[in-house]
Structure 1
Amino acid sequence: MFPTSTIFLSCVIGVLDCGGAEFEDGEEVYDAIGGLLQGSSADCKNEDDIRDILQQTHKTLTPTSFTTSTVDARKLEKAEAKLKQKQGRRNERDSQKTTSPLVLEEASASQASSKKDSRVDLSGKNRTYDIRIENFDVSFGERSLLQGAELSLSTGRRYGLIGRNGLGKTTLLKMLASRSLRVPAHITILHVEQEVAGDDTGALQSVLESDMVREGLLTEERLLNARIANGTAEGMETVRLSEIYAKLEEIEADKAPARASIILCGLGFSPKMQTLTTKEFSGGWRMRLALARALFPTNMLDVRAILWLENYLQTWQTTILVVSHDRNFLNAVVTDIIHLHSQRLESYRGDYENFVKTKEDRLKNQQREYEAQFQYREHIQVFIDRFRYNANRAAQVQSKLKLLEKLFPDNFEKLSPPVLQLDEVEFYYNTDQRLFTQLSVSADLESRICIVGENGAGKSTMLKLLMGELTPVNGIRHAHRNLKIGYFSQHHVDQLDLNVCSIELLLNKFPGRNEEEYRHQLGGYGITGELATRPVASLSGGQKSRVAFAQMTMPCPNFYILDEPTNHLDMETIEALAKALNKFKGGVVLVSHDERLIRLVCRELWVCEHGNVRRVEGGFDEYRDILQEQFRKEGYL
């Protein structure tokens, strides 16, 4: 059991009293007192055990007030007992593993409502387009994501929903889109989730079909015309046909193909591409189609499309709720930030930068109150200082993310340049589509290179040429004999076994190590405790990305090739990834459309276009100016 001496307990209670109201989760409680508990525990020295105990302890804290929480030895003992029971059940499950089919948990939502609210909604008297949902819960399986939450969306404003991976952002959007949460019936919801399904529908037609009103009228028009043609129509049907023609004229249905084509063009679809079927496009292009379908009636866009989208959405008149981890996109587009944390939603006026500043000011004010209220407790000042360190940086997850910065090991020998080179390379998949002609590039262990360009320009193909996965038709690839490449694919999820847990995934990939090594590797990327034993398929997109990073870095490469590494990562993790890459002593070549990551990491910017690669001397600012000028010439600005 944990020691129960007066000094020990006063230290623990003092830290929890001072910071209890501001700890966002058990990880922050662990940051403050985990080391003390681990060093003082006689029979619970495992780091994951202590994390689980502090997760239980955190539930006794009040996150939204400054009142003092009482934590005594009895609560710690109960938490430890629950942990041992939980660990026993886990061990029992591990020993009885079967090959039964994988059953994934489902999301659900519940909401307190009154009969009055329901009557008003059904009567149609409440015609406001504002949305206010009070006192609702959202869960995923047995996990509670939101409790007693409130969400207010004012018509015409553009909201950015942010929060760390796995907290429930995507699930919340699904609950709204499916109307599992009560949204007034007269409000239309358009949900852009994943790429469109690949079938024989043409790209332009796929966008046109997303306007259900127009499609319904056209379908009815065809049926009525057929009945009139074969002489089976009744008198009222002729009247109805006239009404349909009037409605089609009112909604300017004849102009719809042109509008859809403009949106597709803005997202990078050439006239020829707009005639292709959806099954002929890659995942990134299908994601663009999904976006076009949402724009038309209402962790995969390249920089050009993102810039176009920023300009487009700034003129949008209806309400937008977007989940994005692109800091610059949020600053350009949104009018409000909604921060999901601690099973609740907090709203901030302004863009992302204003959110950071407001949150930082709030934390500093809280810190001053803590210092004034508890300064007499000198014997726990070391713990208060540790908490203050986090608060002053306006990132309560700072200490946990610092782990990520150390996860690119660089205890390898220096290699004489060039370590990786393509010389006069020509490559094509078929002779009618030559991707590269006379491609010459090189990189060494000092390189921090970012490759940008439109989707389909050949960025991923060039990475595969650099890795040796593809063989040039002409030209030479040279790689140092001691070069060890770590590769992160933009389709990294496809490379993960979704039916096993993260520990088993690493065990199968790198056999011969003990479980603690696999847990330590995963823990550095935030896959800790119970998360590491859940099927990979049940993890969020960001959590799957973290598992892929853990798998990629385990063999300690000396050169990283990263294809869209920030897809699905939250902003705190993107910042930590940037710091990790800057500290890494090896070489880095990455493809990214995340402006923040590019500015933080890259020393060279290569533009992939027209069968070759050119270096932009002015970096991202020059590249952005080039795109803006193109938009002006093409009439989009």
Structure 2
Amino acid sequence: MALITLRNLGVTLGAPLFSGLNLSINAGDRIGLVAANGRGKSTLLRCISGLLEPGEGEITRSRGLTVGHVEQTLPAALSGASFRAAVLDALPADQAEHESWRVDVVLETMEVPETLRERPLSQLSGGWQRLALLARTWVREPDVLLLDEPTNHLDLTRILQLEGWLNALPRDVPVVIASHDRAFLDATTNRTLFLRPEKSQTFALPYSQAREAIDAADASDERRYQRDMKQAQQLRQQAAKLNNIGINSGSDLLVVKTKQLKQRAERLEETARPAHLERSAGAIRLSNRGTHARVLVTLEDAQIATPDGTALFRTGRQFICQGDRIVLLGRNGAGKTRLVNALRAAIGGDGEPATAPFGIKKTPSLVLGYGDQALADLADDDTPHGAIVRRFSVGDQRARSLLAGIGIAIEMQGQPVGRLSGGQKARLGMLVLRLAEPNFYLLDEPTNHLDIEGQEALERELMAQQASCLFVSHDRSFVRAVANRFWVIERRRLVEVEDAETFFREAAAG
């Protein structure tokens, strides 16, 4: 028996987010919820949890069912609370007084370090804040768990820990996960719902297999649509010929036949439905200025250290060559971001002179394209239009056209960057990179804030442009698709390995 049943559910906000949605959530279900940014995932989860009434259709829940819903953002009222206090606050007053041990059990199972449990959430990273929200929900022992982008802000180790925690949950507790992390969905789900404005589809498969199935279904739909439209066109051509003959001969029979052919064509056109095309959230394009230099950067056993001078690791002798797509791997705190910062300082860019740390040399023709995970180069009080025209000689109309092409409408181009969604801001950052026309990309968590469509577009562009890059990423699917060299920081040394899989396995094992 289904615990939650959705019948003909629909929500319209300006345009339909989804409609006619039917879904049963059963014991043991692990459902991945997939859609582009802003296409209704969070809205659907809020409908299932009871926080939002759908515009059409109905939701039936089993009597007495409790639904735990982990949203994306930390409520402001909790920012001053400690990790433990925030979780304790989620319990009813009588349980908080007599069963506070439940909080410690949850914190232990989620491997929250003792040193973090009494610290205010406002002092913790976004990843730990996300886990605090999850702990607050799970301590109430819900019958159904809804997770909205649970891997946002988590490093790879925490993502893998979360995978393990989810897979260890009682199998009768269904979980619905809205996520853009393809590897995470593959590891934690057994069903996939592709949410669409019309004809959402569910497959009893994890994401990658379900993606193949829906791509095949879309291709079949497209072939059927093209066949039907071609047949309708042929019927209309036959009708036109018969109509001319009928007029010239005065044959009533041919006039009737002409009408019948037109009607058949109209029925075909009315019933034919084009295959689903994902409404693009905005194009991602990159560029590659190119260079004749084979070696772009040389590392001569450079020492990478913290700002106070504490040594983290040495690089050994390493080369970054044209065509290299190097992923930098390492445990949290190993010094990945420090090496990225050292490379950025050595190369210079955006009007900043190169200030090369000892042991890092670049070719004179190197032009840097740098993107950080926080998109700090985009000031929240600037505007998208201003961010483009002040940096690049593109002119007002060209700037507006470029911004529209990445999904930032005219009315948003003069608004503060801080009002953009995470996906819009990420695409703006990619546009800035493209216009800089670099020949070397230095990217820190480039898929943060990008939906699956955006991640795949970035992968295609890096490959199509034959871009040289070094990047840091916790996105295993992105790493596997893009990287052709693999650097790992281990035992205070930078070493090259054959692939990332050993590192992933070791991170999973803790």
TM-score, normalised with respect to structure 2: 0.75
Tell me if 1:370 matches 2:225: yes
The one of 82, 93, 104 aligned to 1:257: 104
Compute the RMSD of aligned alpha carbons.
3.7
- Once the two structures are superposed, residues 242-274 of structure 1 have per-residue CA deviations (whole angstroms, 9 ceiling, x without a partner) of xxx5xx3xxxx4354144133134xxxx44344
In the alignment, structure 1 segments of 5+ residues that lack a partner are 1-126, 222-244, 381-393, 632-637
Q: CA deviation at 1:200?
A: 5.2
Residue number among 121, 130, 139 corresponding to 1:287 in the alignment: 130
Deviation at 1:500, TM superposition (A): 5.9
| Alpha carbons 2:291, 2:366 under 8 Å: kept | no
Superposed counterparts of 1:453-464, under 5 Å: 453-464=330-341
Equivalent residue number for residue 626 of structure 1: 506
Taking the TM superposition and a 5 Å limit, the aligned residue runs for 1:52-201 are 129-132=3-6, 134-139=8-13, 142=14, 144-147=16-19, 149-150=21-22, 152-174=24-46, 176-177=48-49, 179-181=51-53, 186-194=65-73, 199=79, 201=81
Query: Does the aligned pair in 2 maintain the 1:335–1:350 contact within 8 Å?
Result: yes
Q: 1:554 to 1:177 in 2, by over 3 A?
A: farther
The structural deviation recorded for 1:611 is 4.0
- 1:234 matched to which residue of 2? none
Say if 2:82 and 2:118, in contact at 8 Å, map to a contact too: yes
Question: What is the rounded CA distance, in whole Å, between the counterparts of 2:374 and 2:465 in structure 1?
Answer: 24
Change (3 A) 1:161 1:456: same
- Cα distance, 1:562 vs structure 2: 1.0
Determine helix, strand or coil for the equivalent of 2:359: strand
* Structure 2: gaps of 5 or more residues: 142-151, 237-274, 349-353
Contact kept, 8 Å, 1:446 with 1:585, in 2: the verdict is yes
Report Cα offsets for 1:147-170 as digits up to 9, x if no partner.
555554334412211112232323
Corresponding residue for residue 192 of structure 2: 337
- Provide the secondary structure at the position in 1 that maps to 2:70: coil
Which of 525, 545, 570 is residue 406 of structure 2 equivalent to?
Answer: 525
Asked if the contact 2:337/2:444 (under 8 Å) is kept, the reply is: yes
2:308 corresponds, among 430, 439, 443, to 430
Q: Does 1:468 align with 2:351?
A: no
1:557 pairs, out of 413, 438, 447, with 438
C-alpha distance 538-429 of structure 1, shift in aligned 2 (>3 A):
closer
CA drift of 1:450 comes to: 0.8
More helix by share: 1
Percent identity over the alignment is 24
8 A Cα contact 2:426 2:450, kept in partner? yes
Corresponding residue to 1:601 among 482, 487, 501: 482
Structure 2 CA distance for partners of 1:210 and 1:379, relative to 1, 3 Å:
farther
Shifted more, 150-159 versus 464-473: the winner is 464-473
* Cα distance between partner residues in 1 of 2:438 and 2:493: 28
**What amino acid maps onto 1:456 in structure 2?**
G
Tell me the residue number matched to 2:259. Answer: none
Cα shift at 1:360: 2.9
Amino acid at match of 1:550: L
| Match among 321, 324, 328 for residue 447 of structure 1 | 324
Which position in structure 2 is the counterpart of 1:588?
469
Within 1, Cα distance between the matches of 2:417 and 2:477?
28
1:71 alignment partner in structure 2: none
> CA-to-partner distance for each residue in 1:431-455, whole Å, 9 max, x for gaps?
6xx3513334542322211122333
Deviation of residue 283 (structure 1)?
2.9
Structure 2 vs 1, CA of residues 319 and 624 (structure 1 numbering), >3 Å: closer, same or farther?
A: same
Once the two structures are TM-superposed, the CA of residue 606 in structure 1 deviates from its matched residue by 2.2
- 1:417 pairs with 2:295: yes
Is the Cα–Cα contact under 8 Å of residues 541 and 568 in structure 1 kept in the other structure? yes
8 Å Cα contact 1:422/1:477 also seen in 2 = yes
SS for the counterpart of 1:264 is coil
Read off the aligned partner of 1:626 and give its amino acid letter.
E
Q: Which residue of 2 aligns with 1:567?
A: 448
Tell me how far 1:483 sits from its aligned partner.
1.9
Distance 1:338 1:211, change over 3 A: same
Q: Secondary structure at the match of 2:449?
A: coil
Map of 1:181-260 to 2, 5 A cutoff?
181=53, 186-194=65-73, 199=79, 201-203=81-83, 205-206=84-85, 208-209=87-88, 211-213=90-92, 216-217=93-94, 221=97, 248=99, 253-254=100-101, 256-260=103-107
TM-score, normalised via structure 1 length: 0.61
Paired residues of 2:312 and 2:334 also in contact (CA < 8 A)? no
Match in the other structure for 1:305: 158
- Cα distance, 1:207–1:509 mapped onto 2, change above 3 Å: same
Q: Is the 8 A contact 1:453 1:607 kept in 2?
A: yes
1:495-545 CA-to-partner distances (Å, cap 9, x unmatched) read 4344565334322443x4323322343355344666656654444322221
Specify the alignment match of 2:497 in structure 1: 616
1:464 CA drift (Å) = 1.0
Aligned residues: 444
- Distance in 2 separating the partners of 1:188 and 1:458: 40
Q: Which residue in 2 is equivalent to 1:515?
A: 396
SS in structure 1 opposite 2:101? helix
Q: Is the 8 A contact 1:263 1:296 kept in 2?
A: no
Identify if the C-alpha distance between structure 1 residues 401 and 191 changes in structure 2 by more than 3 Å, giving closer, same or farther.
closer
Cα shift readout 1:255-311 (whole Å, capped 9, x = no counterpart): 54144133134xxxx443445443333334433443444445445222222222223
